[in-house]
Amino acid sequence: MDFTKDSLTQRFEQHSKALASQAAQDELWRAVLAPKFTSMELNILYSYVIEVLICLHTRVLDKLPDLVRGLPTLTSILRRKVKNQRIGVVWESVLEECGLQEGDITALCTFFIAHGHRAEYYGAKVRQMYIRDITFLITNMVKNQALQDGLLKAVQIIEKGKAVRAPEEQKSLLKELLPSVRN
């Protein structure tokens, strides 16, 4: 009886996690498709996203020169990082160097998939000529926090070379790094 109860409880927990994950994915897709960007805004955001994805791919290849032929795309890295520990470790280190997390990559890849077919790439000079404050655009147009964070970090990486952690993330990181004080 206890075994059956434990088995059912475990299955219920797995199903609950799967539903929560699906709900989060659905929310992200709604958020990606919801904003009504002008074609110019969409092209500029797309340009930041594609530059970050290319940057990540390039950095992984720089650290794994012997696997260059086997990792022709970022997708190949994302697929193989789960099964190949070496690729996974390098992927995690590249994300950390850039100040990104897996959730940011999910948001950026979702944006790329949703808008890549109709967006055009704009270089840095063109982007600056059309929109002075991309951060303002993102924070006002994108309401989903995961997508907003991913896009803001993409801009930071391209403009400054690394994403800056949010103040809440910095505080929690400091708490982890500092030893707890006991009386």
Binned at pLDDT 50, 70 and 90, residue 76 comes out as very high
pLDDT at position 180: 37
Q: What percent of the chain has pLDDT over 70?
A: 77
Q: What is the mean pLDDT of residues 37-43?
A: 88
- Every domain of the chain and the residues it spans: 22-166
pLDDT for residue 51 is more than 90: yes
Give me the mean pLDDT over the 76-81 stretch: 94
| Alpha-carbon 176 to chain mean position | 23
Surface-to-core class of residue 9, CB atoms within 10 Å of its CB (0-12 exposed, 13-18 middle, 19+ buried): exposed
Mean pLDDT on 26-50: 81
- Contact predicate 99/153, CB 8 Å: yes
- Amino acid found at 137: L
Per residue in 92-145, pLDDT (tens digit) is: 999 999 999 999 999 999 999 988 888 899 998 888 888 878 999 899 888 889
CA distance 75 to 106: 12
**Average pLDDT across the chain, whole number:** 82
Assign 61 to helix, strand or coil. Answer: helix
Residue 176's Cβ-side half-sphere holds a number of Cα atoms within 13 Å equal to 6
Whether the pLDDT of residue 74 is over 60: the answer is: yes
> 171: pLDDT confidence band, cut at 50, 70 and 90?
very low
pLDDT at 99: 93
Mean pLDDT of the 65-70 span? 93
Q: Are 55 and 159 in contact (CB under 8 A)?
A: no
**Which pLDDT score is estimated for 162?**
60
Per-residue confidence (pLDDT) for residue 170, from 0 to 100: 42
Give the pair of three-digit tokens for residue 115: 């808008």
| Of 38-42, 65-69, 73-77, minimum mean pLDDT range | 38-42
Count CB neighbours of 167 within 10 A: 8
- Given a cut of 80, whether residue 176 has pLDDT beyond it is no
